[in-house]
Amino acid sequence: MDEEYDVIVLGTGLKECIISGLLSVDGLKVLHMDRNDHYGGESSSLNLTKLWKRFKGNDSPPEHLGISKEYNVDMVPKFMMANGALVRVLIHTSVTKYLNFKAVDGSFVYNNGKIHKVPATDVEALKSNLMGLFEKRRARKFFIYVQDYEEDDAKSHEGLDLTKVTTREVISKYGLEDDTVDFIGHALALHRDDSYLDEPALDTVKRMKLYAESLARFQGGSPYIYPLYGLGELPQAFARLSAVYGGTYMLNKPECKVEFDESGKAYGVTSEGETAKCKKVVCDPSYLPEKVKKVGRVARAICIMKHPIPDTKDSHSVQIILPKKQLKRKSDMYVFCCSYAHNVAPKGKFIAFVSTEAETDKPEIELKPGIDLLGPVEETFFDIYDRYEPINNPEEDSCFLTNSYDASTHFETTVKDVLSLYNKITGKELDLSVDLNAASATEQEAA
């Protein structure tokens, strides 16, 4: 411990482990510590006994639910966009060799009380039962515009400067109805509120293109992939990467107190009477609670079932987005489902999660619209947790804190946070211009 490091990372949540791996690959000397005796922090995966103990207070789950060790239940369930930033990070760092992926079966949106497949291309728009005949034609034209749009090809812009024109203005050009705008914005572009409508349209068009490109990548029913054995594998994979490049790991280290000099800059971390010195500290909000503010809460239900979600074409893995307007809420609701096909539950068992930004103290009532879509449920666990964001200035105190995980069931916001933090720590952008087609490990496993 009595060494000096470039960076000390506290907490082995997914974000912290990705940062640790990236910094180690860059040649920085990294010490990674955690007060827990296991990897994953808030984003760990639990077996049934641990899940039962955490939510029910004892470690004796009923036998009919199956063998405990065959469960890997994510505490922060999220799918990865097949062409997205996290996959690019995995390939950039060669972490793919530690993991096996499987394509996610379905991507759906809730509209007028029913579940519909999310149409992502002009062909799917024509087939979709989300829209009437004339709306399908209008939507098809809009999708063709998005598919053909190339930032560096003015001919594809149709006279629109998407860095200045708002999304609302582009959509009005095609005369799309509110329900269509709703699923495009929330289920395709994955915006979490409607502020995007009055912002430059380029971001939304890029998000839609990413969705369509990801969908095309594995020719599956969704643009998402998910690791076998759950997301708990990801922090461990990045921890292995860090270790390969000289990173040092210490679990089960009590306290982990960050030390500050007279000017308020972090200079080390003390645990069990020893202080390791460093230039910078990276941590999750729980290690420096005085440097974060509460920005919201996530309400979540974890449900164990013995069948796929109805009306999802018997999908073993699926995301359903319930846009806020459909529920007359302030925020979207998300349904995530995976099963024994991903080695996260015993044969015949399915695990569904329903999550949203909490607006009340009663998750049982608040999450009902999502839970009602699941059909019969064997067991349900309810949870509410606080979300935090840093309020400190890293230039002044050398502390770099991650945000808490939001309610969304995809990784796009998570990776955005990681890449922003990486930029603040190193002063450079991470080069993610990898050739995804050359990434045979991910390609073959997810096919």
pTM over 0.85: yes
At residue 380, what are phi and psi to the nearest 5 degrees? -130, 135
Q: Closest by alpha carbon to 79, among 104, 46, 42? A: 104
Better-predicted residue by pLDDT, 311 or 440 = 311
With cut-offs at 50, 70 and 90, classify the pLDDT of residue 437: low
Nearest 10 degrees: Cα torsion 152, 154, 158, 163: 50
Which segments within 75-216 are labelled E, that is strand? 80-81, 101-103, 106-111, 114-117
Q: What is the pLDDT of residues 219-254, one digit of tens each?
A: 778 999 999 999 988 888 998 899 899 999 999 998
Instruction: Using a pLDDT cut of 70, give the percent of the chain over it.
Output: 96
pLDDT value at residue 1: 58
- The Cα 333–Cα 257 span in angstroms is 37
